[in-house]
C-alpha cells in the first residue's frame, strides 16, 4: 500500500515544522509539500494532488476559509483544519470552512498535553480524514455568493400543539457541524419541541460552535447547564452538550457528568440517548447523523425499544457512514433518511 501524500499549510514556521516532522516520523506518510500561506497551499494541492491537506485558518495571502473553498471547488481533497484560533470571528471562519467542505478540525498543540498525545492524535486524525470521500463544493465558483450561509427564507407554518412527542435528541461526529446546521436550518421558527444534541468536538471549539450555529438557524442555541429544567414542549430551543462532559436527562432536568468516556467520547451520544429512553420512552425522537465509530447505536436502539421514533442519516449524504450504519445494523434506526429530507421528516412528526 502506498504512503499517504500530505500537504501541510501553516504560516508558523515552528508549528509547520512540527507537523511535518510528526508525519514524516510516522509510518505510511509522505509529506509532499509545505506552504506558509493559503495561496501557495492551493497551488500545491492543484499540482501535487495529495491525499490530505492540513490547513491553518489565519494565514497571509489567502486564509483557511478561502483556501478551503477554492480547493473543494477545483481540486476536492480531504482537509484537516489545524487551528489555534480563540477569537470568536476566527472560530466562525473555522465552522464556515467545515461547511464549505473541510472534513475535521483539531487544535494546535498548546504545551499542556501529555507527552506524545497530540502527535498521536494528529497521525490518527490524518489517517481518518484520508479515508473520507469528498465531493466538489462549487461555492468558490459562484460569483457574488456570500461567504456565510444565510438562513432559509421564512415559510408560513401552521402553529400546532405537539402530539405525543416531547423532545428531540440528536447525535453527530465527523461531518456533524455542517449536517447539524442543515437539519436545524430546515426547521420552522416555531418548531414545537426542544432539541438536545451531542457533537463530538472539543474545546475551544464547542462553545463558539453554539454561537456560530445560533446565527445560522431560526431557533436560539445555548450550552446545557447542570441541573436546569428540560425545556418544555412548545418552547423552540436547541441545547448543546458542553465539551468533555456527558449530557443526560433525569427527573425532568439536564445533568452534566464527568463519568468515564464511552467509545472514547465525552460527551457521548449513547449517554444522552439512553437517559432519554428511560425518561421519555415513546415521547422521544432520536436522530443520528454522520460520524465515525458506533456511538449512539445502542442508545438509539434503547429509544426505539421504548417506543420512540428513531431516524438515521443515509449512506449517500453522510461524510462518514459509521455511527448511522451501526444504528441501522443493530436495529436501532426505524427510518433511514437523506440529510436534505431530515428537517421535513422531523416537522412531519410534530405536525397535525
Residues acting as catalytic residues? 173, 200, 295
Grid cell for residue 215 = 446565527
- Side-chain-side CA neighbours of residue 314 (13 Å): 10
Cell 497521525 -> residue: 123
Do the beta carbons of residue 304 and residue 332 sit within 8 Å? yes
Spatial distance between the Cα atoms of 121 and 301, rounded to a whole number of angstroms:
30
CA nearest neighbour of 325 among 316, 312, 335: 312
Three-state DSSP at 223 gives: strand
Cell 509539500 -> residue: 33
CA nearest neighbour of 136 among 63, 46, 45, 69: 69
Q: Report cis status (omega within 30 of 0) of the bond before 293.
A: no
Beta strands in 59-176 (DSSP E): 79-83, 104-107, 167-172
Three-state DSSP at 42 gives: helix
Spatial distance between the Cα atoms of 336 and 338, rounded to a whole number of angstroms:
7
Q: Distances in Å between the alpha carbon of 261 and those of 41, 65, 247, 255, 328?
A: 37, 32, 12, 16, 23
Q: How many helices (H) and strands (E) in the chain?
A: 11, 14
Amino acid at each position: 500500500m502506498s504512503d499517504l501524500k500530505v500537504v501541510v499549510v501553516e504560516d508558523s514556521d515552528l508549528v509547520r515544522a512540527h507537523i511535518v516532522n510528526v508525519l514524516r516520523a510516522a509510518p505510511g506518510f509522505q509529506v509532499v509539500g509545505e506552504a506558509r500561506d493559503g495561496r501557495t497551499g492551493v497551488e500545491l494541492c492543484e499540482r501535487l494532488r495529495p491525499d490530505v491537506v492540513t490547513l491553518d485558518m489565519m494565514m497571509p495571502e489567502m486564509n483557511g476559509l478561502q483556501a478551503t473553498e477554492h480547493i473543494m471547488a477545483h481540486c476536492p481533497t480531504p482537509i484537516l483544519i489545524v487551528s489555534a484560533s480563540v477569537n470568536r470571528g476566527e472560530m466562525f471562519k473555522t465552522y464556515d470552512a467545515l461547511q464549505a467542505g473541510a472534513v475535521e478540525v483539531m487544535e494546535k498543540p498548546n504545551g499542556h498535553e501529555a507527552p506524545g498525545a497530540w502527535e498521536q492524535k494528529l497521525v490518527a486524525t490524518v489517517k481518518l480524514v484520508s479515508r473520507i470521500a469528498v465531493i466538489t463544493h462549487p461555492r468558490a465558483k459562484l460569483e457574488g455568493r456570500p461567504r456565510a450561509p444565510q438562513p432559509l427564507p421564512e415559510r408560513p407554518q401552521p402553529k400546532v400543539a405537539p402530539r405525543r412527542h416531547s423532545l428531540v435528541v440528536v447525535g453527530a461526529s465527523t461531518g456533524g457541524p455542517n449536517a447539524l446546521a442543515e437539519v436545524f436550518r430546515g426547521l420552522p421558527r416555531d418548531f414545537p419541541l426542544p432539541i438536545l444534541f451531542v457533537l463530538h468536538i472539543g474545546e475551544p471549539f464547542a462553545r463558539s460552535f453554539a454561537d456560530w450555529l445560533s446565527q445560522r438557524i431560526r431557533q436560539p442555541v445555548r450550552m446545557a447547564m447542570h441541573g436546569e429544567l428540560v425545556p418544555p414542549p412548545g418552547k423552540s430551543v436547541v441545547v448543546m452538550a458542553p465539551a468533555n462532559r456527558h449530557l443526560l436527562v433525569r427527573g425532568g432536568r439536564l445533568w452534566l457528568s464527568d463519568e468515564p468516556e464511552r467509545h472514547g467520547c465525552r460527551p457521548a451520544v449513547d449517554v444522552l440517548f439512553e437517559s432519554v429512553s428511560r425518561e421519555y420512552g415513546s415521547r422521544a425522537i432520536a436522530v443520528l447523523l454522520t460520524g465515525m465509530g458506533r456511538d449512539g447505536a445502542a442508545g438509539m436502539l434503547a429509544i426505539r425499544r421504548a417506543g420512540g421514533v428513531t431516524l438515521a442519516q443515509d449512506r449517500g449524504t453522510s461524510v462518514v457512514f459509521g455511527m448511522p450504519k451501526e444504528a441501522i445494523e443493530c436495529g436501532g434506526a426505524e427510518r433511514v433518511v437523506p440529510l436534505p429530507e431530515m428537517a421535513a421528516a422531523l416537522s412531519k412528526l410534530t405536525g397535525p
